[in-house]
Copies of this chain bind each other. A is one copy, B any other.
Amino acid sequence: MLKYQHIAEEIENYIEEHKLQQGDKLPVLQDLMSQFEVSKSTVTKALELLETKGVVFQVRGSGIFVRRHKRKGYISLLSNQGFKKNLEEFQITSKVIQLDVRKPTTEAALNLNIGPDDDVYYVKRVRYIQGQPLCLEESYFNKSIVTYLNNEIITESIFNYITDGLGLNVGFSDMFLHIDKLTEEEAGYLGLEKGDPKLYVESIFHLTNGQPFDFSKVTYNYVQSQFFIQAVI
C-alpha cells in the first residue's frame, strides 16, 4: 500500500471515529497535514482517492465535505476489496464447490487476455452472509499471476491473499450486470426457486499495470443482497 492510500484509510477512520455525517466539513489541508505528519501532496492525493471512492466531495473555495449516504448492509459495487471488507459487520463465510487448475474457456481466455493453452485456477464457491447463501461465484484466475491457491485460502478472502500474500497491486475492474431468472442449479445453491430473480455480474479485475488477472461470474441471492454506488460526475 502506498503512503497516500494509507493516509486515505486514516482519514476514513477519522470520519468513522468522529461519527461525521453527510455534509460535515473535514479539517482543512493544513490540519490534516500536521495531524498525519505528511506532505501537502500526500494529503491531496489521499483526498482525491477518497473523492473517487465517494467518501468525500470537494467544493471549490469552500472545503472538503463528508459523503455518508451509505446504508448498512449494502454491498459497494465500486469496491475491489471483496465482501469481507465491505460487509465487515456481518459474518461472511464460504463453501468451496470446486478448485482446480484447468485450461480457460474461450470466454475466460478472451477476458483474461491469455491463450487457450495457458493455465487458470478455477474456483467455484458459495458465499454466505450470517449463514444465509449470498451468492454463487465462479472465478478464473490467470495462473501465471495468481500462482498458487488452495482450499484454505479460498475459504477466506481471496483478495486479502492476493494483495497481502502474493503482494499484487489490484488496480481497476470492469463489471457487467444483468438481471435474469435463476436456473435450477443456481436456485439450488442459493436456496431459492428456479425462475426467481437474480443479479448476475461478470467482472474483470486488473492489476495496476492493466493486466487482467481474474474473470469472475457471480450470481446473487436477491433476498440477501442489496448494493450501493457512490458515483462522481
Contact = CB atoms under 8 A, between A and B. Distances in A.
Contacts of A209: 59, 62
A49 interface: yes
A199 interface: yes
26 contacts: A23-B210, A48-B48, A54-B174, A57-B172, A59-B208, A60-B208, A65-B210, A67-B172, A67-B174, A77-B177, A77-B231, A170-B233, A172-B233, A174-B229, A174-B231, A175-B230, A175-B231, A176-B227, A177-B226, A177-B228, A178-B226, A179-B179, A180-B197, A180-B222, A196-B197, A199-B199
A18 interface: no
Given A54-B172, A179-B220, A197-B197, 18 more contacts: A5-B233, A23-B210, A53-B232, A57-B172, A57-B208, A59-B209, A65-B210, A67-B172, A74-B176, A77-B177, A77-B229, A172-B232, A174-B230, A175-B228, A178-B222, A196-B197, A199-B199, A229-B229
Contact of A179 (B54, B62, B198): B198
Interface of A: 5, 23, 48-49, 51-54, 57, 59-60, 62, 65, 67, 69, 71, 74, 77-80, 170-181, 196-199, 204, 206, 208-210, 220, 222, 225-233
Identical copies of this chain, number: 2
Contact of A233 (B71, B171, B222, B228): B171
A181 B197 contact: yes
Contacts of A79: 231
